[in-house]
């Protein structure tokens, strides 16, 4: 199960440049003209996690394997996309495949870089995209309701109920994205299966100029204020800085560069951190002489399901999980001492995995 974050936004706002910086590649064509990207670019990014390095040192592991997140650089959307404008429908299908959305907004001035609407106004830009996604959902729910009514009584394996679809329609007709609706437990299950574009968790990236990376600028502040009302995270990222950062491979130089820019972390770290929060994900580790490895699971995943992420046999034959917290493992200096100190817990089938747990699964074949 890989988590996919789609990079969306108006054309020419820096999505592909950001994608290349995040994936440390040049696989996406980035150029100063709208609709440079047509087919989506897909890339995996290793999730930076300082805990992984520490654990690997303690266990003297031969291999250190981070967990990965997938980014999809999607073509720019314009007004009318839901009606097929600018190849809109094809792009919307790419968005449908994502677990979360990172909406890039242009918050930098540069007269050499074209803005499709000729004015820097990220709040208006967000409105354009939100409206198109909303219209696309409205069209899709209308069709689903029509087809539901046509076949009603003939099929009893419906995944989505008519009541759910009508509720979704009502939310959309009031001009709200589905994610802002209030749903009951059984509706939430349907929501996960329904693949509405406006139900996907979203965060905003303010692509600010290099000088505004610390405190933001007048544009990013407006995005922040809007994001607050939508209860969505907004991150200031300078895509040009990220481009420079992606070319530095030396750890020391990277730290120096960040320090010079007055930054605490890279845009990638910020984005991954916010993405994990948005998707409700956490990381647990396995650590031994062979390898130290990070695994991503949704918060509150039960121990057997977490074990199943490594191998289905681990889940099938799950007996228990030797579990120790990151800080206890660190202060004890490894498994052996942590056991001696009584810091290793024996957790059963009902245990919900916590972020930072180091786990050793015991199973029978």
Ligand X SMILES: Nc1nc2c(ncn2[C@@H]2O[C@H](COP(=O)(O)OP(=O)(O)OP(=O)(O)O)[C@@H](O)[C@H]2O)c(=O)[nH]1
Residues interacting with Mg ion, by CB under 5 A?
15-16, 36-37
What tokens were used for 230? 């939508």
**Contact in structure between 155 and 186 (CB atoms under 8 Å):** no
> Shortest gap between Cβ of 45 and Mg ion (angstroms)?
17
**Contact in structure between 359 and 321 (CB atoms under 8 Å):** yes
> Shortest gap between Cβ of 78 and ligand X (angstroms)?
9
What tokens were used for 356? 């930072």
**Residues between 80 and 109 that touch ligand X (CB under 6 A):** 108
- Binding of residue 196 to ligand X (CB under 6 A): no
32 binds, among ligand X, Mg ion, none (CB under 5 to 8 A by kind): ligand X
Query: CA 136, CA 47: separation in Å to the nearest integer?
Result: 32
Strand partners, 44: 70
Stretch that binds ligand X, among 9-17, 46-54, 141-149, 192-200 (CB under 6 A): 9-17
Using CB positions, name the residue nearest to ligand X: 76
Candidates 37, 82, 286, 301: give the one binding ligand X (CB under 6 A): 37
**Residues between 223 and 282 that touch ligand X (CB under 6 A):** 238-240
Candidates 6, 40, 43, 76: give the one binding ligand X (CB under 6 A): 76
Interstrand relation of 291-298 and 281-287 (parallel, antiparallel or unpaired): antiparallel
- Binding of residue 31 to ligand X (CB under 6 A): yes
**Contact in structure between 95 and 101 (CB atoms under 8 Å):** yes
Query: CA 199, CA 158: separation in Å to the nearest integer?
Result: 20
SS3 75: coil
Query: CA 83, CA 133: separation in Å to the nearest integer?
Result: 11
Nearest CB to Mg ion, comparing residues 23 and 37: 37
Helix axis angle for 15-22 and 267-279, nearest 10°, is: 100
Closest CA to 339 of 328, 351, 327: 328
Candidates 22, 30, 171, 235: give the one binding ligand X (CB under 6 A): 30
- Binding of residue 206 to ligand X (CB under 6 A): no
- In eight-state DSSP terms, residue 107 is E
SS3 140: helix
Nearest CB to ligand X, comparing residues 71 and 314: 71
- Binding of residue 14 to ligand X (CB under 6 A): yes
Nearest CB to ligand X, comparing residues 13 and 138: 13
Nearest CB to Mg ion, comparing residues 37 and 105: 37
Nearest CB to Mg ion, comparing residues 37 and 287: 37
Positions touching ligand X (CB under 6 A) are 9, 11-17, 30-32, 34-37, 75-76, 108, 110, 113, 207, 238-240
């Amino acid at each position: 199960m890989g988590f996919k974050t789609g990079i969306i936004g108006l054309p020419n706002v820096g999505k592909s440049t950001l994608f290349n910086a995040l994936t440390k590649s040049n696989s996406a064509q980035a150029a100063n003209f709208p609709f440079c990207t047509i087919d989506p670019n897909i890339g995996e990014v290793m999730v930076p996690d300082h805990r992984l390095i520490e654990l690997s040192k303690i266990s003297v592991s031969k291999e250190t394997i981070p967990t990965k997140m997938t980014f999809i650089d999607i073509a720019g959307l314009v007004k009318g996309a839901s009606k097929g404008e600018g190849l809109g429908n094809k792009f919307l299908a790419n968005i449908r495949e994502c677990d979360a959305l990172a909406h890039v907004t242009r918050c930098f001035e540069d007269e050499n870089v074209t803005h499709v609407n000729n004015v820097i106004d990220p709040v208006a830009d967000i409105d354009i995209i939100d409206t198109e996604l909303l219209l696309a959902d409205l069209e899709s729910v209308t069709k689903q309701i029509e087809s539901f009514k046509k076949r009603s009584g003939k099929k009893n394996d419906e995944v989505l109920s008519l009541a759910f679809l009508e509720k979704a329609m009502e939310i959309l007709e009031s001009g709200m994205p589905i994610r802002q609706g209030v749903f009951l437990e059984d509706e939430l299950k349907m929501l996960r299966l329904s693949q509405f574009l406006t139900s996907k968790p979203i965060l905003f990236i303010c692509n600010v100029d290099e000088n505004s990376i610390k405190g933001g600028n007048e544009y990013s502040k407006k995005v922040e204020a809007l994001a607050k009302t939508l209860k969505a995270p907004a991150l200031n990222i300078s895509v040009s800085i990220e481009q420079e950062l992606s070319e530095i491979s030396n750890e020391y130089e990277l730290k120096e560069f960040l320090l010079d820019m007055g930054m605490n972390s890279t845009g990638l770290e910020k984005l991954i951190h916010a993405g994990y929060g948005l998707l409700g994900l956490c990381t647990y580790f396995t650590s031994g002489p062979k390898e130290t490895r990070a695994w991503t699971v949704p918060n509150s995943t039960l121990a057997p399901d977490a074990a199943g992420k490594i191998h289905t046999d681990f889940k099938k034959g799950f007996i228990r999980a030797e579990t120790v917290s990151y800080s206890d493992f660190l202060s004890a200096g490894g498994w052996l001492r942590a056991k001696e100190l009584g810091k290793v817990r024996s957790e059963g089938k009902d245990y919900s995995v916590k972020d930072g747990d180091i786990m050793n699964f015991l199973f029978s074949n």
